[in-house]
Amino acid sequence: HTTNLTRLSIILFSQKKLNYIYTYRFCFLLFPKNIMEKITLSLFLFLFNIFIFTFVATVEGASAQPRANKFVELQCRRTRYPKLCAESLSNYITTASEPQKLAHAALKVSLLKAIYTRTYVKNVCKQLEETKAKDYQVVKDCLDQISNGVNLLFNSVEELQHLNLDKESEFVWHRSNVQTWLSTVLTDAFTCMDGMSSYKFGGYKLKATIKAKVLNVAQVTSNALALFNGYAVRHKASHHSNSGKINKH
């Protein structure tokens, strides 16, 4: 359908000016004369062109999204939480893309989740400090761990951007950094949740809310790590394949 619409737009734009004049005259039958008299032929053609381009672009975008969703779902199968993976990335991937872009989007999702969680826990921590609650320290420790995770996720996003800019010999070093940092984010998240399990503060609902938010950070980070590892494996295989071709020549 998209191909046919594209061809239709080309045909419409390639017609002679006489065809536009016929269309313009036809509009007199649809709109009041006093309105059409104010519309010049050039303005009509301009608006008509915009309509065609917008219509075709909208249809092409709508047809591209299902392909993008299938691409995301296929890549998310390698993760531990495939449903969450597909749901969290569907709004960030609009076209079938490369695994690196998907991994980059996954890292950004993890970073945003971590920042949001840090803000929430920081507010809770501030309230507990003001009331001099005895469980303030355990929440403060959790806040420190989440804050460390935010910094590591920032570093991971930046590190992934350098993978295509630096030499191939440095790829292993960048890959190791991202893998180490993401693993540390996971460790910090589970340490935070384990630390709160034996404490009762602010009621069950508050503790459950914090643990749920931290768990969500851990889950999306786990998915991001899996997608990054998948990208790294493909990159390595592609590099070896290209190196073999060069050596043969």
Asked if pLDDT for residue 234 goes beyond 70, the answer is yes
The closest alpha carbon to 186, from 209, 166, 162, 156, belongs to 156
Asked if pLDDT for residue 35 goes beyond 90, the answer is no
Which tens digit of pLDDT belongs to each residue from 37-70? 555 555 555 555 555 555 444 444 444 567 778 8
Of 32 and 28, the structure prediction assigns the larger pLDDT to: 32
Residue 95 phi, psi (nearest 5) = -140, 155
Enter the tokens of residue 2.
Answer: 């998209």
What is the CATH number assigned to the segment(s) 87-248?
1.20.140.40
Which tens digit of pLDDT belongs to each residue from 184-214? 999 999 999 998 877 666 667 888 899 999 9
Asked if pLDDT for residue 9 goes beyond 50, the answer is no
Question: Is the model's pTM score more than 0.75?
Answer: no
Q: What is the 3-state secondary structure (H, E, C) of the chain?
A: CHHHHHHHHHHHHHCCHHHHHHHHHHHCCCCCHHHHCCCCHHHHHHHHHHHHHHHHHHHHHHHHHHHHHHHHHHHHCCCCCHHHHHHHHCCCCCCCCCHHHHHHHHHHHHHHHHHHHHHHHHHHHHHHHHCCCCCHHHHHHHHHHHHHHHHHHHHHHHHHHHCCCCCHHHHHHHHHHHHHHHHHHHHHHHHHHHHHHCCCCCHHHHHHHHHHHHHHHHHHHHHHHHHHHHHHHHHHHHHHHHHHHHHHC
Give domain limits for the chain. Answer: 2-76, 87-248
Side-chain-side CA neighbours of residue 143 (13 Å):
16
